[in-house]
């Protein structure tokens, strides 16, 4: 079967984070959370949401 994902390295990194205990907190936009740390995926980039980690 042909790989259809456009960003396989990003997907691999997200899979790695999930294997380390991160959870998918939201799917639109894709948001990953581990305790107070939070990342979101925007335009094919994994972005740290430093505002939420300071506010919590």
For residue 51, being part of any structural domain is answered with: yes
For residue 31, being part of any structural domain is answered with: yes
pTM of the model: 0.75
Q: What residues contact 25, with CB distance under 8 A and at least 6 apart?
A: 31, 32, 33, 38
Residue 5 has pLDDT above 80, yes or no: no
For residue 2, being part of any structural domain is answered with: no
For residue 14, being part of any structural domain is answered with: yes
For residue 32, being part of any structural domain is answered with: yes
What confidence category does residue 56 fall into, taking pLDDT thresholds of 50, 70 and 90?
Answer: very low
Q: What share of the chain is helix, strand, coil (3-state, %, to 5)?
A: 30, 35, 30
User: How many structural domains comprise the chain?
Assistant: 1
| β-pairing verdict for 45-48 and 23-27 | unpaired
């Amino acid at each position: 079967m042909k790989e259809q994902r456009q960003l396989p390295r990003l997907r691999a990194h997200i899979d790695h984070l999930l294997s380390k205990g991160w959870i998918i907190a939201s799917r639109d936009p894709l948001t990953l959370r581990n305790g107070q740390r939070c990342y979101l995926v925007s335009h094919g980039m994994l972005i740290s949401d430093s505002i939420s980690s300071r506010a919590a």
